[in-house]
Amino acid sequence: MMFGYTQTGLAVLAFLATLGFGGTYAAESVKDVPFMQEYHVEYPVEASEGGNDVRTIAVDNSGVVWAGTKAGVYALRGKTWEPQSKITQGPIYDLYVDPAGAMWVAAWDGLYQIKGDQVQKASGVDGPVAVVGAAWDGLLALGPDGSWIEKSGKWSPVEGGWSRNDRAIVPDPDNRAVWLGTCMGLYRWDGQDLRLFFREEELFSGDIRALAFSPDKRLWIGSLGGIDVYANGKREKYFTTEKGLPNYDVRSLAFAPDGVLWVGTALGVVRYDGKNWSLRNSRRWLLSDDVRDVAFDGEGTAWIATAAGVSAIKKRNMTLADKAEHYLDICLKRHVRPPGLVEKCRFPNPKNRNVFEPIDDDNDGGYTSIYMVMECLRYAVTKDPKAKENADKTFDALEFLQTVTGTKGFVARTVVPTTWKKMADPNEKLSPQETVERRIHMPRYKIVPERWRLSADGKWLWKGDTSSDEITSHMFGYLFYYDLVADKTDKERVRSLISRIMDHIIDGGYVLRDIDGKATRWGVWSPEKLNGNPEWRTESHINSFEILSYLKTAYHITGDEKYQKEYLQLIEKHGYGKRVRRPKAYGMSERTHIDDELMIQAVPGLMLNEKDPALRGIYMEGITWAYRTVENDQNPYFNFTFGMIGGQGFHLEESIAFLRDAPLDLIQWTVDNSKREDIRLVRWPMLEPLQLDRMLPPSERGVMRWDKNPWEAISGDFSDPEGHLESNGVFWLLPYWMGRYCGFIEGAK
């Protein structure tokens, strides 16, 4: 890491200094050096019964990947699995590549050798073979009906006296002996003497599944229950779920070329680098969490045998700048829909990502505004005309969300073409009983039977009942667009738009009036509601913070003194200034990560525009208090926003770690960490849902969105295990470009 001001950072410092707080701005920055990015490639074997039930995997000396399945043996040629028809079809239990490069196949009906194009069944091996591996002078094959040893090309039976419930063979690297893993204990055999290890002080579990020697010649022993480590024939240590192992059911052990241990378990692939454990599971990383075996090729790719085919976890060298290009490419290809809104998309067939459908969301306007801020920051840093073009088009779309309503200042949640037949939240008619049911649950629930309305030109359906969330995001977007991108003409459009919206809110008594003349369900900032109505107690703090930010932003953009007057009146007459010392609810039953994100979006409008030291002190007190409640969320967007306004201790290194570790795959796979045994399930920091007692890295969680709870035990899209939905990647792009803009991240060389 390098500490010091970058050119961009100095520019921001100069700007912030004009606002009176440049001296507190953080001076840290990080070089964008290359790192290894993991990603998953699927290699399903064959659709026929048993073809994807992969039991064992190996890579031969020429780099060809071999899979032993319930249906037979397959070799991967390019992207195609070729069945080995010369071997009897049926279950395969083990694969082993000998020093000469021959592939040995332990099958249901015996032992086979594949050498080049030649396939030969081993003579003298009578019966099924469960495992085959190296011994001191040759090979050893073990099965339920017997054991056989190979010397000088000839196989002969051997009576070793060990259990026939065999699972693993590994030769001792320094001694003329072999270690045998069975479901009845661990054996060491040197051809004459046989020693059994099974006692509690020798093994955590006698049900041995896997054996592997580490580069430092320690024997690692995987069992049903954990992993034991032997040095010089004696137990040195052991690992269980209480000591960091995410799953007790160990099936395979393999050391990668870089020395990292990969453990196949019933819950995915676990890695151990000597200090930390990590887990690769869910469809993001594996075709199935039911892992049976792992092998490595010369490039370090992990080839993983699962119950649903072969998965490859590969690596590529990237910088954060490379990663930003990757996410932006996905976003622009699949996530911008007319008239310029940005959100998720859906794949009708998850296996074909070339065919996709746009989908609507209740907060399309808000998420589109966040995208626009990202493009504004990108333009400010790079001066890329494409970034400006994207930001301009997005502002057009946000402006359209207001004008499409045909009102003076009301803003639609979203719009869709009239050709759409299905929306996320359709119009509904409620019976009197159903209406009461809703209001019993929430007395202030607003019944809106007509959510979607036809535009004046008949081309669009626009959605009403717009929330405070949407207005907060819009204001966030207008601020950055006005300051960083808009030309003279565009600035006038921004001034006009924000004036119309703010006048509509003020004239309505600080509520967002829908076309029915009544406040929307969530669009309430009035002193009458926030100061005395018990139904609005929970929202009173965040809504006070929001409306002050709106007014300050409007004053900054328009220069109209009436917004400053309204702003000061709410502070001095109605107590909003006191309330923002704690700008959000934080009771466990009241906290939402939606409010966390709304607060962060409202921060720039206040802190980049307020110059009064007393008010700045109040706001900074509240923001700092609120930030300390989320600073462990591993959230680079919150962290960089706090750093941008001069906040101390904004977790730069953790933010960079998040940006590097976030997966390239943006499919909203369900990631169920509630099944992990190295983590405790808790009811914190919220009462709902179940959460984890420690924060996992992003590669072990579902794709994030910053209004979601990163502590959730089950994350991603719970209803879509097949991977139909894809995120737009803005959750990553926004903090990255904010980090670049603020000088926290240097550009890649």
Go through 245-275 and write b for each residue having 16 or more CB atoms within 10 A of its CB, e for each that does not. bbbbbbbbbbbbeeeebbbbbbbbbbbbeee
Most confident of 10-14, 398-402, 704-708: 398-402
Express each pLDDT in 350-392 by its tens digit: 999 999 999 999 999 999 999 999 999 999 999 999 999 999 9
Confidence (pLDDT) at 310? 98
Q: Rounded to whole angstroms, how far apart are CA atoms 65 and 157?
A: 30
Q: CA 368 from chain center: how many Å?
A: 20
C-beta separation of 90 from 72 below 8 A: yes
Query: Predicted confidence band at 28 (pLDDT cuts at 50, 70, 90)?
Result: confident
Express each pLDDT in 561-594 by its tens digit: 999 999 999 999 999 999 999 999 988 899 999 9
Give 696's DSSP letter.
P
Burial level of 685, CB count in 10 A (0-12/13-18/19+)?
Answer: middle
User: What proportions of the chain, in percent to the nearest 5, are helix, strand and coil?
Assistant: 30, 25, 40
Q: What does the DSSP assignment read for 331-379? A: HHHHSEETTTEE--EE-SSTT-TTS-EE---TTHHHHHHHHHHHHHHHH
pLDDT at position 720 over 90:
no
User: 3-state DSSP call for residue 81?
Assistant: strand
pTM for this entry: 0.94
Confidence (pLDDT) at 722? 86
Express each pLDDT in 483-496 by its tens digit: 999 999 999 999 99
C-beta separation of 409 from 415 below 8 A: no
pLDDT at position 46 over 90:
no
Q: What does the DSSP assignment read for 479-524? A: HHHHHHT--HHHHHHHHHHHHHHHHHHHHTTSEEE-TTSSEEEEEE
pLDDT at position 25 over 50:
no
Confidence (pLDDT) at 663? 98
Express each pLDDT in 56-96 by its tens digit: 999 999 999 999 999 999 999 999 999 999 998 999 999 99
Which value, in Å, is the radius of gyration of the alpha carbons in the chain?
Answer: 31
β-sheet bridge partners, residue 311? 42, 304
What ranges do the domains of the chain cover?
Answer: 1-34+631-749
Confidence (pLDDT) at 27? 59
pLDDT at position 529 over 90:
yes
> Shortest CA distance to 20 belongs to which of 616, 496, 570, 541?
616
The percentage of residues in the chain with a pLDDT greater than 90, rounded to a whole number, is 89
Amino acid at the residue 58:
A
